[in-house]
Structure formats: structure tokens, C-alpha cells
Amino acid sequence: MKALLSSVPGGPESLAIGERPDPVPGVGEVRLAVRACAINYPDVLIIEDRYQFKPERPFSPGVEVSGIVEALGPDVDGLTVGQRVIASVGWGGLAEKVNAEVGKCVSMPDDVPFDVGASLLVTYGTSYHALVDKAAIAPGETLFVLGASGGVGLAAVEIGRALGARVVAGVSTPEKAEIARAAGASDVVIYPTTPDDPRALAALFKSALPSGADVIYDAVGGGYAEPALRSIAWEGRYLVIGFAAGIPAPPFNLALLKGCSIIGIFWGAWLERNAGQHQHNNQALLQMYRDGLIKPLISERFPLERGGEAIRRLADRKAVGKLIVIP
């Protein structure tokens, strides 16, 4: 099979197409013929050895795929050859075939396209878990989303709106503002591309959130985190999603003064411990999609040999919505 391989630590330019043996599914695994692979931030980190997991090289990045079950390993129940599924695979998705654990596969209805299916699991799964399982967001609450035009950010905007929250989107350009509004944001804050003046940035956020944000969804971090935390409401929930702008160091006295909770969201580790709830959440997301409440914005599609370009666009914070690689 063809695969986009990481043979040495490095950026997306270090990836190259190569041939690998077809994977043999182990106990409780299935082999998928990959039809679409979505690009996510872990793909940026794992090829540079900056992710929590460091697979043996050569390996393919790619954590989120859709495809067709091609072969069953021992002790597989609930899936059959020929079945359409979405799967979280850790790595290996940027290839023509990949093994997936049965518990991390979700049956995909025939009316869900493969590229849409590959867009639902990680970003929407992360956002649904964060907003529902962790923040318990309620109708009428205010949700502030930092990085609202990216994959997880847009998912949070759509899910927050579907759950009845007032969504305020934080983005860096007017073009991204229009995308966030189209996804359901009630209001938009356009912040500077470099947070050089924390006080001015905090004032900007507070002007858009005069009563404070009940829930802050932060996929950006860096110098944006402390100004955002200053705009949180009393007993608000601050969701730590990712660090596209770097790892922040906000003063903890703000959490005390606001009586707020700072909640880490590590979706991958959570689903390892909560397979049943993971299946429930994904069925809820599929129903939201079929009801027209969410619709992944797939901005670009790439062939397998150009998968490194897709990862570079995400690394450079130039991606809008989801980027999909078609093997």
C-alpha cells in the first residue's frame, strides 16, 4: 500500500510517499480501506516528536479517518467486512489502509459522505465532549470561542449554537469573522494576529462580553489566554483545548477572583477510559448532522502525495475549517 511516511523527525516537508506492507489487524482490530483522512493539530506535533505519543518510524501521521472495513482481526464483534465507519486511529491514517480498534470505530450511515465522516470525529468529538461532558453548557449561557474559524473552533460554534448558547467568536481577520458568523456566531471579536498589548486585548474581549463569558473555549492559548480569562463570568468554565499560539502561563489569582474552573480537555485520553460515552457522543453528533444542526466546513481537499501541504497549512494557522486528504 502507499503511505505518507515520517522517517525522521521534522516538519511537513520531511514527509515522503513510500510503500508499506498492508497492516494485519490484531485482536479486536479491523483493517480499513481509507477513503478520507482529516488533518488535525496532533499531526503537526507527532511528526516533530512533540506529541504525547512517539511511534516507531517509519510511520504515517493521520488520526481521523473514514473508510470501509476490509478485514477483521480475532475477537471482533459488531463490525462486518464492507461496513462504512469513522475511526480514531492515533496515527497511520495518511495511507491507503490502516488498522483501527473496534471500540474507536463508529458506524457511518450511507447518507454521510466519507469526507464529512472524517471531519466529525476529532474536532466535533472534542468540542461536544468539552461543551457537554465537561462544561455542561446550558441554553442561554454565553460561550466565547477563541480560534473560532479553525476546525475545533467552528465545531464549538456550531455545537454551542445547537445547544442554545449565545456564541461569541474570536478570530483574527474579517474574512474569518464571516465564516464564524455563517456557522452561527451571534457576535464576533476580531483580535490582533500578535497579542502585544494584553491590557488592550482584555478590554476588547470585555467589550464584547459585558456580563462575562460563562464558558470560554480556548484552542489558541499563548498571549490570548490571560486576556480571555479576565473576561470570564463569575463561576465560569475555562476550557483548555490547545496551544496554536503557544503554552500560556495565566496568573492563578484570576481563577480565585472569578471563582471559575479551568478545565483541561484531552479528548484522546478520555475516550480510552470512556468507550461507551464516546459511542453515545458520536451518535449524537451524527444525528445533529442529519438534522442540519452541524455541517463541517471542508475548505480544501488534497491527494495523499500532497498531505504534507495540508499539515503545513494547519501548522501555519492558515487553515479554515477542515482539511481533508483523499488517499
What mean pLDDT is predicted for residues 39-53?
Answer: 92
Lowest-confidence region among 29-38, 64-73, 287-296:
287-296
* Residue 143 pLDDT: 98
- CA end-to-end span of the chain: 10
CB-based contacts of 276, cutoff 8 Å, min separation 6 = none
Model pLDDT for residues 238-263, shown as the tens digit of each residue: 999 998 889 999 999 999 999 999 99
Rg (the chain; Cα; Å):
19
Under 8 Å between Cβ of 232 and 238: yes
- What is the predicted pLDDT for the residue at 275? 84
CATH topology of domain 122-267: Rossmann fold (3.40.50)
* Average pLDDT estimate for 53-61: 95
Give the Cα separation of 211 and 205 in Å (integer).
11
What is the predicted pLDDT for the residue at 51? Answer: 86
Q: What average pLDDT does the segment 98-125 reach?
A: 93
Structure-block grid coordinates of residue 82: 464492507
Q: Tell me, what DSSP letter sits at residue 137?
A: -
CB 59 within 8 A of CB 92: yes
Q: Count of H helices and E strands in the chain? A: 11, 15
pLDDT at res. 244: 85
CA distance 235 to 3: 48
What is the model's pLDDT at position 84? 98
- What percent of the chain has pLDDT above 90? 86
Rounded-to-integer distance, Cα 165 and Cα 143, Å: 6
pTM of the model as a whole = 0.88
Q: What is the pLDDT of residues 118-167, one digit of tens each?
A: 999 889 999 999 999 999 999 999 999 999 998 899 999 999 999 999 99
Q: Which of 222-226, 279-283, 305-309 has the lowest mean pLDDT?
A: 279-283
What residue ranges do the domains of the chain occupy?
Answer: 2-108+297-326, 122-267
- For cell 464584547, the residue is 208
Q: What is the pLDDT of residue 5?
A: 98
Closest CA to 99 of 20, 10, 12, 45: 20
User: What confidence score (pLDDT) does residue 318 get?
Assistant: 83
Stretch 197-221: mean pLDDT: 96
CA distance 163 to 284: 12
pLDDT (mean) for 43-64: 94
The per-residue pLDDT of the chain, averaged, comes to 95
Cα pseudo-dihedral 233, 248, 296, 38, rounded to 10:
-160
The CB density around residue 110, as the number of other CB atoms within 10 Å, is 6
Instruction: Tell whether the model's pLDDT for residue 41 goes beyond 90.
Output: no
Confidence band for 309, pLDDT divided at 50, 70 and 90: very high
Q: Hey, what's the cell of 190? A: 476580531
- Residue 200 in this model has a pLDDT that exceeds 90: yes
- CA 163 vs. chain centroid, Å, equals 19
Query: How are beta strands 105-107 and 84-88 bridged, if at all?
Result: antiparallel
Does 16 score more than 90 pLDDT?
A: yes
Provide the 10 A C-beta neighbour count for residue 317. 14
The CATH superfamily of 2-108+297-326 is: Medium-chain alcohol dehydrogenases, catalytic domain (3.90.180.10)
